[in-house]
Amino acid sequence: MSSENAQIRIIASMPLAEDWGKLTKYTFDYRRHDGEWQRQTREVYDRGNGAVILLYNRRKRSVILTRQFRLPLFVNQHHGFLLEAAAGLLDELEPEERIRHEAEEETGYRLEQVQKVFVAWMSPGSVSEKLHFFIAEYDDSKRTGSGGGVIEEGEDIEVVEMDFATALAAIRTGDIADGKTIMLLQHLALEGIL
Ligand SMILES: Nc1nc2c(ncn2[C@@H]2O[C@H](COP(=O)(O)OP(=O)(O)O[C@H]3O[C@H](CO)[C@@H](O)[C@H](O)[C@@H]3O)[C@@H](O)[C@H]2O)c(=O)[nH]1
Ligand SMILES: [Mg+2]
């Protein structure tokens, strides 16, 4: 973060919470397009950057998803069990290294080749996370275990193999409702990969 440039001056930062993630209230001066400076405050939630991967199989025309409980949804009028592409926080690792590790931990597939497709900010008004998107081909020979995540960390991940057509239909019905997962499924369709 640059604290000062021609258009932005950070005036103060006040930690509101420093626990799992960091919630900070920033006061900054912003120079508007008409040249006037305006003082503003914004809360920023920082819990690091992340990576996500969609596993696909051309022959079976299928994808590998995970289903796990997500508390933030549960407290916002959803049952909480969300279908998602495998994802994780970087924790100091390079995105490609992290996502290979995460894919095996969560889905049980060990992938040699992963392809980076794009980077996106998923909630830019409040969350600082930058998310790195990957895809990779899987087949049964790459299966090393049953996945499921790390019990000690409270993970209880169900691995779901789904027809690609069923997954695309599930976006329309709302059964797949996770942003990063929708983006990767649509990427496979748009690029004609599946
Ligand atoms: N103690 C504690 N543990 C937490 C907390 N939040 C998450 N964890 C634990 O931290 C681990 C995070 O797992 P990852 O696989 O690394 O991340 P994720 O939860 O799947 O996904 C996150 O990253 C994605 C990609 O950046 C995001 O898309 C997703 O929203 C989420 O933040 C899990 O074991 C989870 O239980 C918390 O507030 N307290
Ligand atoms: Mg995860």
Spell out, as residue ranges, where the chain has pLDDT lower than 70: 1-5
Ligand number with the minimum distance to the CA of 98: 1
Pocket (CB within 6 angstroms of ligand 1) = 20, 50, 52, 87-89, 102, 129, 131, 150, 153-155, 180
Distance CA 81, CA 78 (A): 8
Distance CA 151, CA 179 (A): 25
Angle between helices 164-173 and 179-190 (to 10 degrees): 130
| pLDDT for residue 112 | 87
Mapped onto helix, strand or coil, the DSSP state of residue 105 is helix
Ligand 2 centroid – CA 9 distance (Å): 35
pTM confidence score: 0.95
| pLDDT for residue 5 | 64
| pLDDT for residue 95 | 98
Burial of 154 per CB tally in 10 Å (0-12, 13-18, 19+)? exposed
Q: What percent of the chain has pLDDT over 90?
A: 91
- Phi then psi for 104, rounded to 5 degrees? -70, -40
Ligand 1 centroid – CA 31 distance (Å): 36
| pLDDT for residue 3 | 44
| pLDDT for residue 33 | 92
Distance CA 31, CA 13 (A): 18
Task: State pLDDT tens for residues 28-82.
Answer: 999 999 999 999 999 999 999 999 999 999 999 999 999 999 999 999 999 999 9
